[in-house]
């Protein structure tokens, strides 16, 4: 069979977050997808163990979402969101406000997680300014946090490789310690018991900088990109207490954690902790059309609007904010999540994935296994002197055996679509186990 990449030039496309030379020497092309499966250009099926890239929560090609997109493109392809609107974006905002925890009932649309993060940081600054606290300009992120690739998200992010070539970034950003500790947490099922005290570092940051200079703290409820770092019991609660005490906004970056990944609409609900702002993307449209959003407490929006003269209140937005085709996809994705009970299904599959994954404990090179919701990770011992090589090789071998996983450093992550079947979870973990058996 002629493989597609023999016919398609590979040079022009500069691939994101990819080893371009390695890819082009050994390309992997996906040509179609349906349900939990991709098809590669050599005709093989590949079981999607990572929901595309943590986004296709309803699986691939869901006919209701496909249909909504096609109809919307034909009916109203584009409408500017600046001074003009269209109905579906208002109704989608209402639905999200209704789903959101607490009083987070203001919705600002973006086109990606990165844009949502930058938007949330700008809203935090504008809010403090509107309250007459313009000196609150510092942000607090966390080591090993990932908040997208914009300058704001890169600044509050805590992954050194993502930051090192890009200069001083935003001024005044501080970082909390990460929450993972191998000695105290290895092989935890769900939330580790140890580590709530790590949130107290925020008190130290406040003591050194004074609360009146700090605008917001941003964290992922569980850190996804850095390798599935699950929050210790009590940690998020403690962050909420300390931020509230000091008038600091708390932003949950729920780009990965929302829309059923944790068996609930939002991680905020799963953990019972309500932040001031939530960033969204990915599962909002089940990955079918780019779309992101920021949910804010109504009081935050009202404060910014009321403090401004009767003109544009927040000088921020994107050409494609609330794009009609994305809004239609968002409605359809929420319909599918509701009608197919996918958040509940995710919750009921959580122990299935947990038990299967922890069954890999005695496989070669395994340093840790952790899980929460429909997410898990296997951390490998790095090869001496060759960090990341072992997991990168595991990724390639897994793909060749028909499963798509995600790796970061020497960590292999699994986060299958919420429609995954129990026997597919078994297959994912079994194949991963065989891959580990074969690794040097
Ligand atoms: N915040 C979080 C918590 C994310 O996980 C973003 C922001 C940025 O979203 P966009 O849509 O701008 O990419 C993300 C994205 C990985 C991986 O390796 C994860 C993401 C992106 C790329 C790779 O796990 N998450
Ligand atoms: N650059 C130029 C020259 C533009 O005109 C615009 C938008 O009008 C942008 C960047 C921003 O693009 P977007 O609104 O799609 O983020």
What's the per-residue H, E or C state across the chain? CCCHHHHCCCCCCCCCCCCHHHHHHCCCCEEEEEECEEEECCCCEEEECCHHHHCCCCCECCHHHHHHHHHHHHHCCCCCCCCCCCHHHHHHHHHHHHHCCCCCCEEEEECCHHHHHHHHHHHHHHHHHHCCCCCCCEEEEECCCCCCCCHHHHHHCCCHHHHCCCCCCCCCEEEECCCCCHHHHCCCCCCCCCCHHHHHHHHHHHHHHCHHHEEEEEECCCECCCCCECCCCCHHHHHHHHHHHCCCEEEEECCCCCCCCCCCCCHHHHHCCCCCEEEECHHHHCCCCCCEEEEECHHHHHHHHHHCCCCCCCCCCCCCCCCHHHHHHHHHHHHHHHHCCHHHHHHHHHHHHHHHHHCCCCCCCEEEEEEECCEEEEEECCECCECCHHHHHHHHHHHHCCEECEEECCEEEECCCCCCCHHHHHHHHHHHHHHHHCCC
Residues with a CB atom less than 6 Å from ligand 2? 318-320
- 189 CB-near residues (< 8 Å, 6+ apart): 354, 358, 371
- Ligand 1 centre to CA of 112 (Å) is 9
How far apart are the C-alpha atoms of 414 and 124, rounded to whole Å? Answer: 33
The number of the ligand 1 atom at minimal distance from the alpha carbon of 112 is 11
How far apart are the C-alpha atoms of 231 and 271, rounded to whole Å? Answer: 10
Using pLDDT thresholds of 50, 70 and 90, give the confidence band for residue 187: very high
Q: What is the mean pLDDT of residues 57-77?
A: 98
26 burial via Cβ count (<10 Å: 0-12, 13-18, 19+): exposed
The number of the ligand 1 atom at minimal distance from the alpha carbon of 116 is 7
The pLDDT tens digits of the residues spanning 405-434 come to 999 999 999 999 999 999 999 999 999 999
**Ligand of minimum distance to the alpha carbon of 142:** 1
Residues with a CB atom less than 6 Å from ligand 1? 53-54, 112-114, 117, 146-148, 220, 224-225, 253, 255-256, 281, 406, 408
Q: What is the pLDDT of residue 1?
A: 52
Using pLDDT thresholds of 50, 70 and 90, give the confidence band for residue 2: low
Q: Where are the domains of the chain?
A: 4-58+341-437, 66-339
Q: Please say if the pLDDT value at position 45 is more than 70.
A: yes
- Ligand 2 centre to CA of 319 (Å) is 7
Q: Please say if the pLDDT value at position 5 is more than 70.
A: no
The pLDDT tens digits of the residues spanning 234-274 come to 999 999 999 999 999 999 999 999 999 999 999 999 999 99
- Ligand 1 centre to CA of 151 (Å) is 14
**Ligand of minimum distance to the alpha carbon of 221:** 1
> Domain 66-339, CATH 3.40.640.10 — does that match?
yes
Fold of the 4-58+341-437 domain: 3.90.1150
- The residue among 329, 370, 411 whose CA lies nearest residue 159 is 411
Mutate to test the pocket of ligand 1, among 16, 19, 109, 113 (most ligand atoms within 8 A of CB): 113
The pLDDT tens digits of the residues spanning 285-337 come to 999 999 999 999 999 999 999 999 989 999 999 999 999 999 999 999 999 99
Share of the chain above pLDDT 70, in %: 99
Using pLDDT thresholds of 50, 70 and 90, give the confidence band for residue 190: very high
Using pLDDT thresholds of 50, 70 and 90, give the confidence band for residue 8: confident
How far apart are the C-alpha atoms of 186 and 357, rounded to whole Å? Answer: 14
With 0.95 as the threshold, say if the pTM is over it.
yes
- Ligand 1 centre to CA of 148 (Å) is 5
Atom 6 in ligand 2: residue holding the nearest Cα: 319
Q: Please say if the pLDDT value at position 166 is more than 80.
A: yes
């Amino acid at each position: 069979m002629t493989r597609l990449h023999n016919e398609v030039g590979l040079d022009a496309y500069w691939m994101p977050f990819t080893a371009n030379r390695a890819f082009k020497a050994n390309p992997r092309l996906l040509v179609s997808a349906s349900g939990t499966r991709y098809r590669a250009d050599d005709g093989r099926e590949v079981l999607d163990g990572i929901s595309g890239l943590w986004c296709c929560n309803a699986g691939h090609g869901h006919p209701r979402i496909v249909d909504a997109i096609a109809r919307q493109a034909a009916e109203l392809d584009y409408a500017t969101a600046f001074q003009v609107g269209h109905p579906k974006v208002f109704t989608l905002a209402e639905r999200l406000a209704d789903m959101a925890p607490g009083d987070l009932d203001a919705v600002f649309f973006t086109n990606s997680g990165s844009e949502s993060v930058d938007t949330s940081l700008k809203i935090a600054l504008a809010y403090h300014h509107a309250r007459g606290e313009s000196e609150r300009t510092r942000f607090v992120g966390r080591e090993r946090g990932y908040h997208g690739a914009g300058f704001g998200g890169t600044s509050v992010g805590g992954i050194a490789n993502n930051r090192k070539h890009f200069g001083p970034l935003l001024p005044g950003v501080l970082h909390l310690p990460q929450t993972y500790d191998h000695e105290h947490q290895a092989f935890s099922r769900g939330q580790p018991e140890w580590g709530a005290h790590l949130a107290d570092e925020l008190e130290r940051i406040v003591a050194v900088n004074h609360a009146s200079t700090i605008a917001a703290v941003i964290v992922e409820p569980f850190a996804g990109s850095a390798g599935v770092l699950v929050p210790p019991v009590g940690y998020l609660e403690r962050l909420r207490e300390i931020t509230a005490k000091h008038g600091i906004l708390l932003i949950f970056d729920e780009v990965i954690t929302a829309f059923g990944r944790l068996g609930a609409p939002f991680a905020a609900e799963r953990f019972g902790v309500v932040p001031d702002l939530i960033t969204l993307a990915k599962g909002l449209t089940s990955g079918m059309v780019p779309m992101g959003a920021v949910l804010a407490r109504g009081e935050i929006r009202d404060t910014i609007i009321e403090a401004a003269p009767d003109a544009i209140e927040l000088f921020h937005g994107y050409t494609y904010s609330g794009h009609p085709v994305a809004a239609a996809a968002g409605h359809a994705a929420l319909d599918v999540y509701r009608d197919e009970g996918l958040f509940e299904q995710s919750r009921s599959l959580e122990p299935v994935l947990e038990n299967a994954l922890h069954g890999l404990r005695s496989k070669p090179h395994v340093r840790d296994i952790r899980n929460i919701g429909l997410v898990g990770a296997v951390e490998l011992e790095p090869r001496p002197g060759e960090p990341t090589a072992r997991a990168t090789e595991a990724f390639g071998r897994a793909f060749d055996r028909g499963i798509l996983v995600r790796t970061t450093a020497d960590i292999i992550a699994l986060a299958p679509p919420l429609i995954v079947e129990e026997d597919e979870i078994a297959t994912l973990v079994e194949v991963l186990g065989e891959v580990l058996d074969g690794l040097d």
